[in-house]
Amino acid sequence: MISIGIDVGSVAAKAAAYDGEKIIATALLPTGWSPKESGGQLLKEIMGDLNITRDDISTIVGTGYGRVSLSFIDKKVTEITCHGRGAHYIDPNIRTVIDIGGQDSKIIKLNDKGTVIDFLMNDKCAAGTGRFLQVMANALEVDVGDLSELAAGTEPANINSMCTVFAESEVVSLMAEGASKEAIASGLLHSVCNKTYSLASRMGVENKVFFSGGVSRNKKLGELLSNKLGVSIISTDESQFLGAIGAAIIGYK
Amino acid sequence: MISIGIDVGSVAAKAAAYDGEKIIATALLPTGWSPKESGGQLLKEIMGDLNITRDDISTIVGTGYGRVSLSFIDKKVTEITCHGRGAHYIDPNIRTVIDIGGQDSKIIKLNDKGTVIDFLMNDKCAAGTGRFLQVMANALEVDVGDLSELAAGTEPANINSMCTVFAESEVVSLMAEGASKEAIASGLLHSVCNKTYSLASRMGVENKVFFSGGVSRNKKLGELLSNKLGVSIISTDESQFLGAIGAAIIGYK
Ligand code: SF4
């Protein structure tokens, strides 16, 4: 039997399938307007990939903010718990997860069994989240996926405001003054790094640190965080599936 | 002799002239790109209005965030102090000033001499400031000056996020779902009211309360604040000149 985890986030919906030993498939879709539709679509996709039917699935666990809309799931689990379990699967030595998603950021502390022992979350303020970078990439007229490369090897422009709205005005002014996109991109990543640092340092960060969430694809930001926190930070391509992986594992029986 | 106060804010630059007894002239300009230029322009304008020369002016006092750029002033005074003094001039019974400007909001407590005894300021977060309303009016495709009238007599739509960025997305969704502009405008004013309330209640609010700053032209917001705080709130057309008035009075000798 196989268990499935579905993690419907604000930007992307993710699914993972677990066979009791390892993750055997993952899938990803934009969340779009309807978490229910994207969740259902993912389930179909992963069953198609694995060439299985609903009868081969023991449990489906939903997580992420859109989990409440999923009518076909057996169980709902908070994303904090799922992220913890997912990180433990990837590396049992992980003790801290820094997760930066499209609309929130979280710091999660784990014990050696992958159980969450503490966490802090910011979901009230767009600063320091993927949304901040999205707004800024827009102002800079670049793709958000290019910010990391743009910022690499450049001294950061000074961006004083943490607030997304005020920082956006600063970016517009900096461009008008002729600052390079590279320097501005670097300044923006420093801003997200500082905001994350101030969240993380309220709880303390223990090795190993895993960087997850959509924003973890930004390699340069990972480097900045690692320097600022004075720890080494790991991240993998699986990191955006952390919640789905954890949900699948929790659902397995 | 006459003293002049110049208050260069983030959105508007204001000037006032004082003859030792009363304010004899005021002037207003958009701050634009250069606080120095708009400040200088205001000085010319007010001298023209009063038909006076530089020799008739004893002192020029600058206040507001742009005061640092004014090379022709005799003295700089913080806007908090100037607001207090300006409010005392308008009505000596004022004990609390709620000032909501283009980029910040402040709660100022005064004694019976118009001296500031305590204050709280938010200039880090665009929520609860004029900027919030500007962004939202844009999303609603209405003029920010029409929000008060739009919102009058309508039940507010529910806007859950305080954050400007997240609230903007809510406004876009509400419009897509067919909510009326009136209900959304009302919801937005409730949001600013709640944010102001949480700042004000950290310090306590004592009668009489004066509502100033550019956002105080929004009559409906004044009503909401008055209900929420359980105090009567006064505001006058002079209220946007509070800082300039205070600066002129402080400068008089
Ligand atoms: S600081 Fe800016 S981004 Fe953060 S809550 Fe306030 S408005 Fe939103």
CA-closest candidate to residue A252, choices A58, A70, A63:
A58
In the numeric block, the tokens 């209405």 are attached to: B142
Residues with CB under 6 A from ligand 1: A 125-127, 163-165; B 125-127, 163-165
Contact, A11 vs A249, CB < 8 A?
Answer: no
Arithmetic mean of pLDDT, A37-53: 93
For residue A132, count other CB atoms closer than 10 A to its CB.
Answer: 26
A153 — pLDDT class (breaks 50, 70, 90): confident
CB contacts under 8 A, B 117-136 vs A, are 124-126, 131-132, 135
A142-146, B85-89, B235-239: the lowest-pLDDT one: B235-239
Contacts of B131 (CB under 8 A, 6+ apart): A165, A166, B102, B103, B164
Beta bridge partners of A51: none
Residue positions counted in chain A: 253
Contacts of B103 (CB under 8 A, 6+ apart): A166, B10, B11, B123, B126, B129, B130, B131
- What CA–CA distance (Å, rounded) separates B111 from B244? 20
**Contact B164/A165, CB-based, under 8 Å?**
yes
Residue B28 distance to chain A (closest CA, Å): 23
Strand segments, DSSP code E, in A41-173 are 57-63, 75-76, 96-100, 105-110, 116-122
Pairing relationship of beta strands A57-63 and A2-8 according to DSSP bridges: parallel
**Is residue B150 within a helix (H) or strand (E), and if so which, with residue range?**
helix B147-151
Comparing CB atoms, the residue among B126, B161, B166 nearest residue A166 is B126
A25-34, A139-148, B107-116: the lowest-pLDDT one: A25-34
Q: Give the distance (Å) from ligand 1 centre to CA of residue B219.
A: 25
**Is residue A196 within a helix (H) or strand (E), and if so which, with residue range?**
helix A181-201
**Phi and psi at residue B170, to the nearest 5°:** -65, -40
Q: What is the pLDDT of residue A117?
A: 95
Q: Does residue B43 surpass a pLDDT of 80?
A: yes
Comparing CB atoms, the residue among B131, B161, B162 nearest residue A165 is B131
Ligand 1 atom 4, closest CA: A125
Cα dihedral A238, A242, A248, A251 in deg (nearest 10):
160
Q: Give the distance (Å) from ligand 1 centre to CA of residue B125.
A: 5
B98 — pLDDT class (breaks 50, 70, 90): very high
Arithmetic mean of pLDDT, B59-85: 92
Q: Does residue B6 surpass a pLDDT of 80?
A: yes
Q: Give the distance (Å) from ligand 1 centre to CA of residue A127.
A: 6
Per CATH, the number for B2-124+197-251 is: 3.30.420.40
HSE value, Cβ hemisphere, 13 Å, CA-based, for B178: 0
CA-closest candidate to residue A184, choices A173, A196, A192, A174:
A174
Q: What is the pLDDT of residue A34?
A: 84
Domain spanning A2-124+196-251, CATH architecture: 2-Layer Sandwich (3.30)
Residue among A125, A131, A168, A191 whose CB has most ligand 1 atoms within 8 A, to mutate: A125
Residue B160 distance to chain A (closest CA, Å): 10
- What CA–CA distance (Å, rounded) separates A101 from A9? 8
pTM above 0.85, yes or no: yes
Contact, A127 vs A101, CB < 8 A?
Answer: no
Q: What is the pLDDT of residue A167?
A: 97
- pLDDT tens by residue, B125-156: 999 999 999 999 999 999 999 999 999 988 99
